[in-house]
Structure 1
Amino acid sequence: MDEHPPETVRAVEHELTALLRRSRAVSWDIAREVHPNLEPNAYGLLLWLRRSGSIRLTDLAGRLGIGKGTLSRQINGLETIGLVRRDPDPTDRRASQLSLTEEGQRRFDTASAARLERFRETLSTWSGQDVETFARLLNRFNETYF
């Protein structure tokens, strides 16, 4: 593995910090688009639930790398505002399957479409190859960072 110059690694850290800071601000806006009482961190939960369709709490906690207690509290909040439901797990009576309600899907899809449009606008001046490379490198970073 190549040794990277410290200034290059610092530049990556600086840019990621700026991205995450801006991302948090945008997350508040997107969360409010889904539901006025939605916490910004919950958008990521909704994304995972939308992708998986139905998933057990323990499996979702493992994928997200958070504790079951923390996740359960967040899911309870999403249930309270009508975005998530728990259904009995047909393979294990002690467990339940989490999924978005119809209202949760509708609200998430609407907010997600707006978010994707923001990405399209931001990337509109980039070449297709640059966007593909950016997506590939972000995926690689996300797969190896945690």
Structure 2
Amino acid sequence: MTPESPGEPGPAPGLSPDDLLAVLPRLTRLSSAFNKGRLVDRAAKAAGPSLDRPAVGVLVSLLAAGEPLRIGEIADRMQVVGPHVTRQVQILEKRRLVRRIADPLDRRASLIEPTEAGNEAAHRYVTTLLGWFAEVLADWPRQDREDLLRLLARFADDVTARLALPEEEEDAGA
């Protein structure tokens, strides 16, 4: 089916199918470059010995939140299911990178907060990752960097929101 076929969403107004098609190979190349360059793996290694991506994801979610979170909140931020985060939190607790504290609003529930060592690991990860991106963008004009950050944030938010819609709503909106 082409983008103009009945039942399929068409391109946004002002965008031709060729415009969108031209972006697809670039997105694929970008994804491949990240994977082949093992950028995330290198940053995870910098975070601490034997920390894998999911564990680092929990720590970075807590760092970004700036406050303790429930397991479900961490799962939502990571876009994974709760049991996955529970396993990671248990591993991080054993390594003394996070701890459980009582939720002041509901004593039956607990919140997860990073320890000092957990915060340091998250900072090392973020510093490594952001440092790499900063090097790539160093020669870009300031306005281009600002435009990229603004548009990339908007694109990521819109894609995430669209993928979160139930299929019926997504089909109806198209």
Give the TM-score of the pair, scaled to structure 2. Answer: 0.74
Distance apart, 1:103 and its partner CA: 0.4
C-alpha distance in 2, partners of 1:17/1:41? 23
Q: Which of 23, 27, 36 pairs up with 1:16?
A: 27
Q: How does 1:119-138 map to 2 (within 5 A)?
A: 119-138=133-152
- Cα-to-partner distance string for 1:48-95 (whole Å, 9 max, x where unaligned): 100212111112222332211112112222222222221121221221
Q: Match for residue 31 of structure 1?
A: 44
Answer whether contact 1:83 1:100 (CA < 8 A) is retained: yes
Q: How does 1:1-146 map to 2 (within 5 A)?
A: 1-2=12-13, 4-24=15-35, 25-52=38-65, 53-146=67-160
Cα RMSD (Å): 1.9
Answer whether contact 1:56 1:96 (CA < 8 A) is retained: yes
Answer whether contact 2:98 2:118 (CA < 8 A) is retained: yes
Q: Which moved more, 1:72-81 or 1:24-33?
A: 72-81
Runs of 4+ in 1 over 4 A off after TM superposition: none
Identical-pair percentage: 32
Counterpart of 1:108, as a letter, is A
Counterpart of 1:133, as a letter, is D
Answer whether contact 2:57 2:78 (CA < 8 A) is retained: no
Where does structure 2 lack aligned partners over 5 or more consecutive residues? 1-11, 161-174
Distance apart, 1:36 and its partner CA: 2.0
Answer whether contact 1:27 1:43 (CA < 8 A) is retained: no
After superposition, the Cα gap between the structure-2 partners of 1:18 and 1:45, relative to the gap in structure 1 and judged at 3 Å, is: farther
After superposition, the Cα gap between the structure-2 partners of 1:77 and 1:6, relative to the gap in structure 1 and judged at 3 Å, is: farther
Counterpart of 1:4, as a letter, is L
C-alpha distance in 2, partners of 1:78/1:19? 31
Aligned residues: 146
C-alpha distance in 1, partners of 2:24/2:92? 33
C-alpha distance in 2, partners of 1:11/1:80? 48
C-alpha distance in 2, partners of 1:43/1:17? 25
After superposition, the Cα gap between the structure-2 partners of 1:126 and 1:143, relative to the gap in structure 1 and judged at 3 Å, is: same
